[in-house]
Amino acid sequence: MATTDTRTQILDAAEHLFAEHGYSGTSVRAITKLAGANVAAVGYHFGSKAELMAAVVRRVVEPINAAQCAGLDELFARTPDPPVSELVEAFAGPLFDEMPAGDEGGARTSRLIVTILSDPAEEARSWTGPAEISVRERYLAAFARALPGLSPEELWFRMRGILAVTAVDRLEVYQQPTPGCVSPVAGEAARRWAITFLTAAMSAPPTRT
């Protein structure tokens, strides 16, 4: 039991620090200090800081991936060619579910997703696992059928935009609003607005070269 507890404590600490400071800005010593563990515990449980980052990302992303796959399966059970709006909702909906407004864990997930998208460290930007690759390829194929005029590169750029917009929105909902600014809206209204906005963004004409 102690081994499992230590591993989980390290994962919790690493998730918090990677989300706050990025991959390069987080040291193994800082992680183990926050976790109340020995520095050698990271090597024992994960092998390296890079493998720890991968484990953190897997723990956060895999429930989202599973829900996205289930949503796509439900759409395909009804029709072989779902419309863009339904594809967007199936892809973005689980992000809202896993990043609930006003929840510290949801905000941390938001920050971590932003880190994965933007951190210059290769270990943060390029991590992929079998579940993430499978989800990406399935949605790319479905969106490609619904939006045949888009190149694969622009299509993937727009899908990354879904991740970025949703993560930033959830993070702003959790943070204290800036005085004088309109407070972000939580709940079902924000979800509907996001689906409407992202559907329009995904459906826009191809960019002229």
Cβ–Cβ < 8 Å for 184, 177: yes
pTM beyond 0.85, yes or no: no
- Higher pLDDT residue, 28 or 103? 28
pLDDT given at position 177: 54
Residue 176 has pLDDT above 80, yes or no: no
- Higher pLDDT residue, 66 or 106? 66
pLDDT given at position 101: 54
pLDDT given at position 184: 52
Residue 81: count of CB within 10 angstroms of its CB: 10
> Is residue 124 very low, low, confident or very high in pLDDT (cuts 50, 70, 90)?
confident
Strands (E), 33-78: none
Mean pLDDT value of segment 110-139: 80
Element housing 204 (H / E):
none
Sign of the C-alpha dihedral computed for residues 201, 194, 175 and 62 taken in this order: negative
pLDDT given at position 1: 37
pLDDT given at position 131: 80
Cβ–Cβ < 8 Å for 131, 160: no
Q: Which two tokens stand for residue 40?
A: 């050698």
Residue 125 has pLDDT above 80, yes or no: no
DSSP code for 179: T
> Is residue 188 very low, low, confident or very high in pLDDT (cuts 50, 70, 90)?
confident
Cβ–Cβ < 8 Å for 3, 44: no
Backbone Cα Rg of the chain: 18
For the chain, give the mean pLDDT.
Answer: 85
Per-residue CA distances from 179 to 133, 137, 170, 176, 182 (Å)? 41, 42, 19, 9, 8
- Higher pLDDT residue, 186 or 127? 127
> Is residue 110 very low, low, confident or very high in pLDDT (cuts 50, 70, 90)?
confident
Residue 127 has pLDDT above 60, yes or no: yes
